[in-house]
Chain A
Amino acid sequence: MTRWGMAADLDRCNGCGACVVACHAENNISTVGDEQAARGRAKHWIRVERYWEGDFPDVRLKFRPVMCQQCGNAPCEPVCPTYASHHTEEGLNAQVYNRCIGTRYCANACPYNTRFFDFFNPQWDKPLQLQLNPDVSLREVGVMEKCTFCVQRIQGAKIQAQAEERELLDGEIQPACVQGCAAKALVFGDLEDPESQVSRLSRSPRGSKLLEDVGTQPAVAYLARQTQA
């Protein structure tokens, strides 16, 4: 079996935001404009959070990229009345847009605030629609959307491997955020394979999971930024 997971090394992450734009580009996330953004309707499947500590001049700032944690015990799934939010065999918290009726219970239940509601139909000023990725469906008004770990890339790599009659290689699948990261702060792979890079990183003594104590069993491990006296 496979359990897709990610490791984010906060000692490599420098907060640049390349993952945020890469995700927009890959997943056909529509921009909403300033007025709607001011109402909290901007959609960023991955975001860079910042935590300030201390006061000037002894001040520190820490970045943390946060996307759907693809929980093993996901609060968003049991609350969905239409099974739009459901768990795949490979551990993804999948969202079937065609089933979604927009109750937003899932967003309510998600402790990570990584689900986004489409308040209107997406719109691209022509010819910006030419940038759209044909592998990713567009979401219309009234549905929830979220990080998929770039499931289209996972499926594409599987088909490719099948055609070449071989197993998937570790590191062969790179979600857009992982591929774009210049500092190689993000690593994606199969947590069930103890030798995969993501498994090894997830076992690091620096590792922890976000809000692990609420029992969500996240598939994303964060490797703490080290400090030096």
Chain B
Amino acid sequence: MQIELGHYLALSAIVFGIGAIGFLVRRNVLVQLMCIELMLNSVNLMLVAFNRYMPDNHAGQLFAFFVIAIAAAEAAVGLAIVISMFRLRKTVHSDRADTLRH
């Protein structure tokens, strides 16, 4: 069996779906952040796969490079917010982050 572009794209779509389901179902903020990382990673895989099949420039790989940098910044700020919320609420349960609701 020859590996086609479609295989990479389907794998990337499935991993994105798993990440999205995790983000919707889990209520632990840390696990939700990990699911965001899963989704970002799957998009990276898709970009790199497209770039391999159109190798006249490095646009896809450079885009994946920037996505990795932005994911690092996002993880840093997100975890800082988690720590701040834990200090305030003594929990990492996202349903308990409801100060603005009342």
Interaction A to B = no
